[in-house]
Amino acid sequence: MVAALLGLSGVAVASGVFDTAVREITLPLRHEDVIRQQAADKDLDAALIAGVIYTESRFRDGQVSSAGALGLMQITPATAGDIARKSGGSLFEIEDLASAQVNISYGAYYLRYLLNRFGGDEALALAAYNGGEGNVDRWVTAATQRGESFRVSEIPFPETRQYVTRVREAERAYRARYPRELGL
């Protein structure tokens, strides 16, 4: 009887470890303390930040894109310099983007800026995060001139259109799988 109970508890433990391993592979989460802190500081949804990080880097530290974007949230040096100036980061150096704290802080700052700039429209903010503010301005202006509202399906850059969709899907997945970890 005792052996049977121990066997069942071993299965339960192994199952829990397996579930955690599968979750880590399919939808990893790291630096959740920094994500929660930055979400609170920048009045952002922690699941949105996690969704952007997942889409940008799959939570792999040290990522560098072909365009030179760095770190978890894939911040370009030019964008980082602008954020440093606007946020008072006077001692900032590009190498600082390798730090999860700095990278997530700068990425969250930029997300908040874009959400403010585009009237809280998450899709437009995400499109700008990926495709650039000027492009989004042009797309919205063109839709307005036609007397229409801008829709994600009208984003002319396939990469940006897919990016917005992927971030929003990841955001929903993080909200469902990690509510406690993200403080939701």
Catalytic annotation, residues: 56
The CA-based diameter of the chain, rounded to the nearest angstrom, is 76
Neighbouring CB atoms inside 10 A of 150's CB total 20
**From CA 142, how far away is CA 144, in angstroms rounded?**
5
Look at residue 90 and give its three-state secondary structure.
coil
Q: Nearest Cα to 111, choosing from 133, 138, 129?
A: 129
Neighbouring CB atoms inside 10 A of 175's CB total 17
| Cα distances (Å, whole numbers) of residue 135 to 27, 80, 101, 168 | 30, 19, 29, 20
Which residue reads 């940006």 in tokens?
160
